Amino acid sequence: MTIDFAVRRAEPGDAPSIAKVHVDTWRETYRGLMSDAVLDDPGLLSSRERFWTAALTDPRYGQNTAAVASHEGKLIGVAMSGPSLGDDDGAQQLYVLYVFAAFHGSGVGTALLNAVIDRSAPAALWVADPNPPAQAFYRKHGFVADGAVKTEDDVREVRMVRAKDATDAR
């Protein structure tokens, strides 16, 4: 699929639109993996908006990098990375990468990933399991499951890591 899209650094004024992308992509991706009570919580959008406002303005998040993708003036994806939260040997950590399903396979996810994670640097991320499409996407970009598993918000996640200088299989 070929579409015109743009990727740029996220700005504080994007927080409401990013929150909507975040919530809507969670709902289309995690229905059946995550509790309906969480996904349908009437306060979810406002909570995500508070999170994104903080992520884009609070100095505590100053080492993070956030990017958004847009198509025809509307945000269609978001990504954020930052310092590793674990013992990943100084690797960057991908915290967020969400793209509306209608744009999967268009290059938007790859562009967002490359906007927030240096392709030549070691990196780590946690991905829902099972989530075969997401796991295949990350494998395509040099990530492999390292055996670490955790459960957060009742969702099983596996850690995937990419060594320094991993090549993109595109």
The CATH number of residue 38's host domain is 3.40.630.30
Question: Which are the contacts of 112, defined by CB distance < 8 A and separation ≥ 6?
Answer: 7, 67, 68, 69, 77, 78, 79, 97, 99
89 pLDDT tier (thresholds 50, 70, 90): low
169 pLDDT tier (thresholds 50, 70, 90): very low
C-alpha–C-alpha distance, residues 143 and 79, integer Å: 16
- Helices then strands, counting H and E runs in the chain, come out as 5, 7
Quote the domain boundaries for residue 133: 6-162
CB 18 within 8 A of CB 53: no
Q: Average pLDDT of the chain? A: 91
Asked if residue 89 belongs to a domain, the reply is: yes
Q: Where are the alpha helices (DSSP H) in the chain?
A: 15-30, 36-39, 44-57, 108-116, 132-140
The number of domains in the chain is 1
- 65-79, 90-104, 144-158: range with highest mean pLDDT: 65-79
Asked if residue 167 belongs to a domain, the reply is: no
Asked if residue 1 belongs to a domain, the reply is: no
Q: Could you give the count of Cα atoms lying within 13 Å of 62 in the half-sphere of its Cβ?
A: 3
Give, rounded to a whole angstrom, the gap between the first and last alpha carbons of the chain.
15
* Backbone angles phi and psi of 142, in degrees to 5: 90, 5
Asked if residue 147 belongs to a domain, the reply is: yes
pLDDT digit string, tens, across residues 28-82: 988 888 889 999 999 999 999 999 999 999 999 999 999 999 999 999 999 999 9
pTM assigned to the model = 0.91
Asked if residue 47 belongs to a domain, the reply is: yes
CB 73 within 8 A of CB 43: no
Asked if residue 76 belongs to a domain, the reply is: yes
